[in-house]
Structure 1
């Protein structure tokens, strides 16, 4: 029977089985490290999730082990020899060890991105030169991730060696080669089917959205997945595809991609200052949580709260993306990121109408400030596409004494630099600052140790520090001549760590504050907007306030217009999420996977299988129309 290589086949099956076993352990650890973000109600529910995850594990394991499988089966007649078996083992653990580590990196990465590791993370990382420092800081903060990885890899090697192959030579080489060819053909068939994710007649391989077919809670989809699958499946993917669901008349009436806001000419024109505040989620601010009824709520933004009492604030606002660069495109250009980020797509380098282009057209000086090394996060490149006339980064700041060692210049000194640089400019100007300090690894300058309350999560002290930096900025800026005729906008790029269960809810993972303030009463920026709003509303709101009376391309709406406009709120966790009217719709680009009441922010009760009603059918049609227009404008370069 040795001519049929059965002991080698059994060894191969055993070695692949070990990969399945350790992937399930990684899934369990992923859940353990992120159980505050992904709630599982029972052991049986977890096992159900793990069962469906096997299909995604199969794809990942076969991707990684395709070479190992081929080397195990190729008929070389020396396959059972000690040297060749050692070579196989080294190959096996190099491939699997690297791939397996992705799952462990996701234990930490998921806390910030709240999505599985994809190529989008590489698109962000390639603009950074501090990734190694961030990695080391993460290891120091979460040593058990590394410890668990080492323990499991040692265990994996130990179990691998438990099945040894006895050295043997084929006595009938015809049988040996024919059986090998048969096994290779069978393995190829099974591997291709496994990588696709099924052995049926599916028209496409399974992808990230298929994880949501097996769960009622969309957040459980991230537990069904594994990081190797999500990474490999997004290599060279492009989910920007034209679709046709409705005619153009329906889009013009219900989506209204072009708006005109008529306002009397304003003289002098207002300066515009936009603060995009890193990770400054709604959860941290008392002014934006008056109605959330969170027991024993603590605020960590005293200055921001005091400014809110003199401002126009949106208390039910959402981010349109999950990462910083998504926030930049949403806030400044009104372009959200869906399954794939627009900014890392093949279509980003096109002419784009934005608050930057509008400001340039109106004769404004336009500047972008970011205290990180120039080019970090892709901001400088995208800023050039938008048309900023000036960029001020760590290079222009030119004082590394204020460098935090990882991300950039501490917020307090950089905010002062921001104010002083603006003071040298001729009005009107439009300037955007993207802060850096309220961010992992959650550090504050040593001189402020003990100044801010600890809070319950690591994020609370850096948030207080950025709030303090804002206070110091305004103390400086209000003494300057340009201050009195300036419109200030403050908005988060996305939320971060979560302390309260209210913000563990799926939709509240995108909850952010939006604030408009001006010391000039003529802009009437005071009050509260309680209806759902989003980052992409900022661009049309500012164009309206600045007196830009021409047509603008925008999926958002002016928050200060007297027009009655329906707002479609959109963001994505890999499944596109729309708030339309009184319902939340989940759409994968082809089909709806969920319908929830607007109040069901945790997405707990899916109404998708309830009897159809006209309101939901119209809502679904609007979601499809929005998606169709988004794809059309991005792909066919209609963003101007």
Structure 2
């Protein structure tokens, strides 16, 4: 059970009043009983100095890739859409050929990593630019997630109309509480679907949600910011018809659902092109997290496990950036600063977000699993296991000592800072 079971309004006080007081008291006590940071490696001042040095820039500027300061923005968060199924990211060939067609006219960021390995953490990293907290998941704690900054909150200030679409049940992992707490004016999930459309284990197949989304946007007032979270490319990797790669193995099931989602994304765009709002709309495609499939390799500590696509597409994208690639190393958390800079809006409230189109920004990423974390840049990477209290992965294997220390200190400082901000309820 979580508060999403009873949340129903965009007005926080109404949602708070709907909670059972006894349940809330016990829940809060249990959560607050664990108030120690297990990632203490430096003094608070030392950790902050290291983190600040990573995100500071000599000049606050941006390369403009959008020729419109007030475009509609449609954000697709694609379930488990690992780089390993995207040929342009050195993934398997022909698994997502339709996504490759979209890439031909889009701007592809080739070195983007997810913050962690779960959807609940991916949503927070993308929309609130707050990295994963390891064993904790801030989206499940309302007294904390409500204080996070978010992209929809900032765009509402800029008079954008906002919506969130999901073919599953948004009560899952407390998604609904987060969505309603962060200025999404309209939430459409499986609760609003007809029973005949809820034919997958998780709710509705992606093509059903895509069609509902198109119908909604055709009536939406511009400018709008709309987020759609897909779900078909999730275990058990089932489809309403025979998959492109069959279903004899879990690897082929994963390839089939990846193919299916990319195909219907491509069809979605072809339908959208016929609508009047399309010419003023930027589409952003990003995965919620990476995956061990389809290659069935890359242990949880391997940075390749977190490698995902980030693609910007649409008519407002300047012609000189279409079909181009950006090799800067970044994270899901960097979407906020990058997007807001293109819209001439401030992103200072997003402490862990850097503008990928600022040539002065440092090129790096940070990833977290249950009890470990890693750091990566163009020279290499390192992963550290807190339980074992040792480094368990480096690339290159014979990493130089000064580079090793740089990666380890950066990873430790980021993990300490993120977790402490989570405990202190301070995110800006």
TM-score (structure 1 length as normaliser): 0.55
Deviations 1:487-542 (A, max 9, x none): 11111112345233665682222222111112224385431122432211212111
Aligned residue among 235, 259, 264 for 1:469: 264
Per the TM alignment, residue 474 of structure 1 is displaced from its structure 2 partner at its CA by: 0.8
Cα distance in 2, alignment partners of residues 314 and 333 from structure 1: 20
In structure 2, the CA distance between the partners of 1:394 and 1:430, relative to structure 1 (3 Å rule), is: same
**Residue equivalent to 2:334:** 537
**Residue equivalent to 1:632:** 420
Contact 1:242–1:635 (Cα < 8 Å) also in 2: no
**Residue equivalent to 2:16:** none
Cα distance in 2, alignment partners of residues 557 and 249 from structure 1: 16
Aligned residue among 171, 180, 198 for 1:384: 180
In structure 2, the CA distance between the partners of 1:586 and 1:495, relative to structure 1 (3 Å rule), is: closer
**Residue equivalent to 2:190:** 394
2:239 aligned with 1:444, yes or no? Answer: yes
User: Mind listing any 5+ residue stretches in structure 1 that lack a counterpart?
Assistant: 1-121, 128-233
Cα distance in 2, alignment partners of residues 285 and 591 from structure 1: 34
**Residue equivalent to 2:149:** 353
In structure 2, the CA distance between the partners of 1:298 and 1:262, relative to structure 1 (3 Å rule), is: closer
Secondary structure at the aligned position of 2:87 is classed as coil
Contact 1:371–1:414 (Cα < 8 Å) also in 2: yes
In structure 2, the CA distance between the partners of 1:555 and 1:302, relative to structure 1 (3 Å rule), is: same
**Residue equivalent to 2:354:** 557
Per the TM alignment, residue 639 of structure 1 is displaced from its structure 2 partner at its CA by: 1.6
Per the TM alignment, residue 564 of structure 1 is displaced from its structure 2 partner at its CA by: 3.6
**Residue equivalent to 1:3:** none
2:75 aligned with 1:280, yes or no? Answer: no
Give the alignment's Cα RMSD to 1 decimal: 3.3
2:131 aligned with 1:331, yes or no? Answer: no
In structure 2, the CA distance between the partners of 1:478 and 1:624, relative to structure 1 (3 Å rule), is: same
2:407 aligned with 1:619, yes or no? Answer: yes
In structure 2, the CA distance between the partners of 1:437 and 1:275, relative to structure 1 (3 Å rule), is: same
User: Greater RCO between the two (CA within 8 Å, min separation 6)?
Assistant: 2
Deviations 1:116-174 (A, max 9, x none): xxxxxx989x97xxxxxxxxxxxxxxxxxxxxxxxxxxxxxxxxxxxxxxxxxxxxxxx
2:245 aligned with 1:453, yes or no? Answer: yes
Please list, as runs of the form range in 1=range in 2, the aligned pairs for 1:192-591 lying within 5 A after superposition. 240=37, 243=40, 244-245=42-43, 246-247=45-46, 248-256=48-56, 261=61, 269-289=70-90, 297-340=92-135, 341-345=137-141, 348-396=144-192, 398-446=193-241, 449=242, 452-454=244-246, 457-496=252-291, 498-500=293-295, 503=298, 506-522=302-318, 525-526=321-322, 527-549=324-346, 551-580=348-377, 582-588=379-385
Per the TM alignment, residue 635 of structure 1 is displaced from its structure 2 partner at its CA by: 2.4
In structure 2, the CA distance between the partners of 1:259 and 1:563, relative to structure 1 (3 Å rule), is: closer
Number of residue pairs aligned between Structure 1 and Structure 2: 393
Per the TM alignment, residue 636 of structure 1 is displaced from its structure 2 partner at its CA by: 2.4
User: Mind listing any 5+ residue stretches in structure 2 that lack a counterpart?
Assistant: 6-30
Deviations 1:328-359 (A, max 9, x none): 00111111213222323576334221211211
In structure 2, the CA distance between the partners of 1:287 and 1:263, relative to structure 1 (3 Å rule), is: closer
Per the TM alignment, residue 552 of structure 1 is displaced from its structure 2 partner at its CA by: 3.5
Contact 1:347–1:635 (Cα < 8 Å) also in 2: no
Contact 1:282–1:512 (Cα < 8 Å) also in 2: yes
Cα distance in 2, alignment partners of residues 556 and 431 from structure 1: 20
In structure 2, the CA distance between the partners of 1:622 and 1:441, relative to structure 1 (3 Å rule), is: closer
Per the TM alignment, residue 624 of structure 1 is displaced from its structure 2 partner at its CA by: 3.0
TM-score (structure 2 length as normaliser): 0.81
Per the TM alignment, residue 433 of structure 1 is displaced from its structure 2 partner at its CA by: 0.3
Deviations 1:264-301 (A, max 9, x none): 89755011111111112111122222xx6xxxx43211
Contact 1:454–1:461 (Cα < 8 Å) also in 2: yes
In structure 2, the CA distance between the partners of 1:537 and 1:524, relative to structure 1 (3 Å rule), is: farther
Deviations 1:544-592 (A, max 9, x none): 1222146232313222223242424222242122225634333456996
In structure 2, the CA distance between the partners of 1:504 and 1:636, relative to structure 1 (3 Å rule), is: closer
Larger radius of gyration: 1
